[in-house]
Amino acid sequence: MATTTILGNTVYFSLAGVNLSDQVTNITINQQFEELETTAMGATSRVFVKGLETAQINVDFLNSYVATEVNTTLQNAYGTAVAFIINPNGSTTSATNPKYTGSVLVNNLTPINGAVGDLQTQSLSLTCVTPITYSET
């Protein structure tokens, strides 16, 4: 059976309606449910059920202060919940390029971050305020 692989440099990322893909150097979606233990007397192994979901989007940005780019987009969304869209391979959603969407609270910004000789960047962990939706269409 053929194995499909995909390079990490084709991820599409839109935040607050703005396509910021070309200013992202690293991006990760973390999804998890709380595991609630229901093990009772007589059980022979621990038993868990699904609890509430938490999710984060971890994203590394190249900082840019030009209008419509990273800093203005983040500052204008700061303290609010805004939508995100992530596709692994460009923005055209399909069965082989699913779309992950939801809303994140824009918080914990580091708009100035860089030492002498370094590029200015910021690494954000954006907490989702909605469940992440998975779509193939």
Partner 1 sequence: MELNMQYEIISEREICGKQKGEILTDVEIAEAGTRVEALINGGSIKPITKQKKDEATE
Contact between 27 and partner 1 per CB under 8 A = no
Mask for 46-85, x = binds partner 1 (CB under 8 A): ---------------------xxx--xx--xx--x-xxx-
Of the residues 31, 97, 103, 127, which one makes contact with partner 1 according to CB under 8 A: 103
3-state SS, residue 21? helix
Q: What is the dihedral of CA 46, 50, 53, 58, to 10 degrees?
A: 40
Residue 45 or 137 with smaller CB distance to partner 1:
137
Contacting residues toward partner 1, per CB under 8 A = 14, 16-20, 67-69, 72-73, 76-77, 80, 82-84, 91, 103
